[in-house]
Structure 1
Amino acid sequence: MTTQTVEQRFQALRLTLKPIEFNSIEFLVAKAQQIEAQDPELAKRILVRVTNLKKQVASDKLKGSADTEEKEQKKGESNKAKVESQKKEEQKPNNQLSELQSTFNFPLLTFFTRKPFIALVIIPTLIFAFYQNFWASERFVSRAQVIVQQPDGMATMDTSMALLSGLGVPSSGIVDTELVKAYILSNDMLVYLDETISLREHYSHSSIDYFSRSDETDSWEDFFDYYLTRLDVYIDSNSNIVHVNSQAFDSEFAHQLTQAIVQRAEWYINSIGHQLANAQLEFVQQEHLNIEQRLQQSQTELLNFQQRYNLLDPLAEGLAMQQITYGLEGQISAKEAELKGLLGIMNARAPQVISAKNQLAALKQQLEKERTKLSDSQESVIPVSEILAKYTDLKVKMEFALQAYTSSQISLEKSRIEAYRQLKYLIVVESATKPNESKYPDVFYNISLFGFVLSMIFVVVRIISLTIHELR
């Protein structure tokens, strides 16, 4: 080892000792004996210090007797100088440490201390700029624009049936576009893309830089979060157009990714349209079947009522029978009056009286026969008004059922045609583009933002540290 190196180690040792220990001959001798085996040259240098201390002590003793009175006089001044020398001695190690650090041992720490802005802002920004320019992988962006369209469902159904069923009302376009966006950003879409185009394999390829790629060992949830960072889907509030921007590390793959997303979204919307059409058709068919059953039931009840009373048109026939009954009752009343007059002037066995009785009995028998035509199976007489009321109710019920059946038949026929059409379908406004140059990383923007953020943090920390230093 050189003399300079030994002196350097000696100065470093001095900084670790207290002033009293550094001026103690016994302590330095013991210290030299302790490190002699490890560093003999440093031990010799310590002994040199011991020799100098012994010479200084001897010189002080020779001058002691002659200067006793002078020392007594200057005792106060010497004590004061001693205090000041001790303060300087305590400060001297720090100054020497700073000098040694800047000269030999700690240049990096000194650089951080003297030029913190360069060390904490400029250098990290330069490192980040090197990464952005020479290491960061390029990302290509492919875009597509789609919109959801839906025909007017009111044209497929009869007005009365549409109002009763609640179907045929077109849904809001905003809901459809939000549905497309939610499906594109869903886990189902990610599973489909990974199965069809091996999306995870592309994003975790070893050719991509470490900070940009997805790790193959990441969980599916972490990969899903990574997928969301590489996809941008937003909706134009004015036109309801869905914009899809997907990022990939290859131009061809970016185009393939966006195309697969659009095709899958189109399949999803179409499947929903067919499901709605089938649900509408099934509902109309069920309603038509129920209305048809009610019509058949009404017709059967009306026919049974007509057969039961043997009446084709109870309104007309009831009126006719009622007139006949009234006529017979009038004839019976007249014949009874005539018979009563004959009995007043003739014998009961007189031919005229017997003839009047026979005619009266025939009229009563005919009246009874006419009345039996309006009786039920239990031979109970039903008034004509009640028969007419029952017949009217059954006829009105059948007319309503027939009208509902007609409307249902129209709706059913239109719904059968509509079932083969797409109630909702996706229109591609702009097909998936194939990028010619990378869009990310935006080197200038990223470096500027990185430097600005570091500068702001540095300023805040600097203000805080200076404030704390002033308050001490």
Structure 2
Amino acid sequence: MGVKARKFRIRRSLAATLGAGGATETEAGREEQAAPARPRRPAGGGAGAERPERPVRPVNAAAPEALSPEEAGESDAAREIEAIKAEGLTGRQLRMARRLAERHGLKPVSDLDAVRLLRRKGIDPFRTSNLLELVPPDPRVQEPEPAAEAPTPALRRSSEPVKVPGPDKLPATRRAPKPPSPQIMSEEERAREILQMQRDLMRRRRRRMFLLAVRLFFFVIVPTLITGFYYYRIATPMYATKAEFVIQKAESQLGPNMGGGLFAGTSFATSQDSITVQSYLQSREAMERLDREHDFKAHFQQPFIDPIQRLAPDASNEDAYRLYRRVVKVGYDPSEGIIKLEVAAADPQTSVEFARALISYAEEQVDALTKRLREDQMKGAREAFREAEQKMVAAQKRVVELQQKRGVLSADLEVSARMQQISSFEVELKNKKLQLAAMLDNPRPNPTKVELMRKEIQRLEELIAEMRRGLTEGSAKTESLAKVSGELMIAKAELETRQMLLSQALQQLETARIEANKQVRYLSLGVSPVAPDEPTYPRKFENTLLAFLIFAGIYLMISLTASILREQVAG
């Protein structure tokens, strides 16, 4: 439990009081009596426990008027001890005060005397920082030997160690600070020194600001002025012609459920074609064709063009292509599907001429994109139709040849005619047989008639048998009707097959033609090239401001880099 420090007042000694103000002992006695008596606390109780008041004996007012120094000191010590008793200090506090006095090299005769001696030295015995000095010191720290009578803190030498509690509430040893220099500056000298320091600071600040202004002038302002002078006085004005066009495809005749594309009719359906055309217009091929047909290099090699934009007389294709990329700008907007073209030249008519030439190149490129696809599709369909037609004609010729060779127009008709003849002959044969049977039923038939009837029946049977053999068996001169009929049937079946394949090939040809029409691309010109009446480039103010920002940014980055390197090297 912490000890609560009481407030106290160090009284002056009686001798000092008598020597300074000539006060009488009676006045000192009255002053002592006027001091209120403080209640005393019990020795074993806590900090807040009450103790019964003890009567304080008043200082003898009838002291002799003149005392010796020893007697005056003893009388003053007695009064101080009586005042300390009146404070009601506990036994624990008195023991701690005695131990603290011994640590400071004092030799008290009692606990109350220890409190008196400590207060005379200006030490509060009940202060927390002083109580920490009672902790046993670290054996590794050397302490100075206590003197018989320790000097006051104000009179310590600068080289004498002073014990103070460390940050961990333990005693530590440190050296007391050296006393200030005996040389004391007057107010006038101090003001003069302060004014001199202010002038030095202002001089350094002005020098730094001047150096900064010089660096900014040479590294930022001068390059910006040179750039602005070029744009305002030297740069050749360029006239830019703008045009816009879009690439479209033929609309599908089929509905969305019959093969129509999801993005049909939108800009996404022709985005690849638009990007391809954009790449072509920015290619070396387009530049070389423009130079062959419209003298692109010769136009920018004219002497009135400034040296920076002028093309050298012996310029290579790479130099011309770099200039071409700078004066011909092609952009594509995927959301709208519009290709934007901007062509700059030294005069308006030439810029319009270049723009129209590039648009014609783009249109040819659009046609060439799908030409091969359309030709491949139509070529395959045409070849298939032509082959089917040739085979159908060959089958037709074979049927005709068989009919001519066999003398049979139609095998079915020939067979049916033969069968009708055989049927009629069989009917006649049956009649003859009936007549012969009727003759034989006569008891006395005519032998001649019977013989004739039998011969007719025999001839009919032979004829029917021969006709039946002619249906299935051939002779040396003619083929069997069955063989001729089979050949004709095969030839006619092949003819029918070829006719069906020909109709399918014709349908495929029509489908290929429709698909080829779908692949057709059209270049629709939205904004036509128009010659400008005022120069478009250079943009003098914008370019000068941009140059200033670029030079300032470069200077700032170099300055920061140099400062960081300087700090790293110095550190």
TM-score where L is the length of structure 1: 0.56
**Residue identity opposite 2:300 in structure 1:** Y
1:254-273 matches, cutoff 5 A: 254-266=351-363
| 2:547 pairs with 1:447 | no
Q: Distance in 2 between matches of 1:278 and 1:366?
A: 65
Of 119-128 and 171-180, deviating more is 171-180
Measured at CA, do residues 370 and 234 of structure 1 come closer, stay the same or move farther in structure 2, by a change above 3 Å?
farther
1:44-101 residue CA offsets vs partner (Å, 9 max, x unmatched): xxxxxxxxxxxxxxxxxxxxxxxxxxxxxxxxxxxxxxxxxxxxxxxxxxxxxxxxxx
SS at match of 1:397: helix
1:156-192 residue CA offsets vs partner (Å, 9 max, x unmatched): xxxxxxxxxxxxxxx9544543454344334443234
Quick one: which of 96, 115, 119 aligns to 2:218?
119
Higher CA-based Rg: 2
SS at match of 1:243: strand
Measured at CA, do residues 403 and 313 of structure 1 come closer, stay the same or move farther in structure 2, by a change above 3 Å?
farther
SS at match of 1:321: helix
CA contact (8 A) 2:238 2:538 kept: yes
Between the two proteins, what is the percent identity of the paired residues?
20
**Residue identity opposite 1:128 in structure 2:** T
Kindly state the Cα deviation for residue 142 of structure 1 after the two structures are TM-superposed.
0.3
CA contact (8 A) 1:139 1:249 kept: yes
1:29-428 matches, cutoff 5 A: 115-149=214-248, 151=250, 173-266=270-363, 289-322=386-419, 324-325=421-422, 352=450, 355-356=453-454, 359-372=457-470, 381=480, 383=482, 386=486, 389-390=489-490, 392-397=492-497, 399-400=499-500, 403=503, 425-428=522-525
CA contact (8 A) 2:244 2:339 kept: yes
SS at match of 1:261: helix
- Tell me: higher relative CO, structure 1 or 2? Use CA pairs within 8 A at least 6 residues apart: 1
1:413-438 residue CA offsets vs partner (Å, 9 max, x unmatched): x99xx99xx96554332221111222
TM-score where L is the length of structure 2: 0.48
Measured at CA, do residues 128 and 389 of structure 1 come closer, stay the same or move farther in structure 2, by a change above 3 Å?
same
CA contact (8 A) 2:302 2:310 kept: yes
Q: Distance in 1 between matches of 2:505 and 2:559?
A: 86
1:425-468 residue CA offsets vs partner (Å, 9 max, x unmatched): 54332221111222222233323333333333333322222222
Unaligned runs of 5+ in 1: 1-109, 156-170, 344-348
Kindly state the Cα deviation for residue 141 of structure 1 after the two structures are TM-superposed.
0.8
Of 374-383 and 187-196, deviating more is 374-383
SS at match of 2:538: coil
SS at match of 2:343: strand
Measured at CA, do residues 426 and 383 of structure 1 come closer, stay the same or move farther in structure 2, by a change above 3 Å?
same
**Residue identity opposite 2:298 in structure 1:** E
**Residue identity opposite 2:561 in structure 1:** I
CA contact (8 A) 1:335 1:360 kept: no
**Residue identity opposite 2:236 in structure 1:** S
Q: Distance in 2 between matches of 1:180 and 1:190?
A: 14
**Residue identity opposite 1:301 in structure 2:** R
CA contact (8 A) 1:258 1:432 kept: yes
Kindly state the Cα deviation for residue 232 of structure 1 after the two structures are TM-superposed.
1.0
1:127-164 residue CA offsets vs partner (Å, 9 max, x unmatched): 22222222222222101223345556989xxxxxxxxx
Q: Distance in 2 between matches of 1:120 and 1:321?
A: 120
Unaligned runs of 5+ in 2: 1-208, 255-267, 441-446
Aligned-pair Cα RMSD in Å: 4.9
Kindly state the Cα deviation for residue 355 of structure 1 after the two structures are TM-superposed.
4.1
SS at match of 2:237: coil
SS at match of 2:243: strand
Kindly state the Cα deviation for residue 261 of structure 1 after the two structures are TM-superposed.
2.4
Of 133-142 and 371-380, deviating more is 371-380
**Residue identity opposite 2:548 in structure 1:** G
SS at match of 2:302: coil
Q: Distance in 1 between matches of 2:469 and 2:509?
A: 44
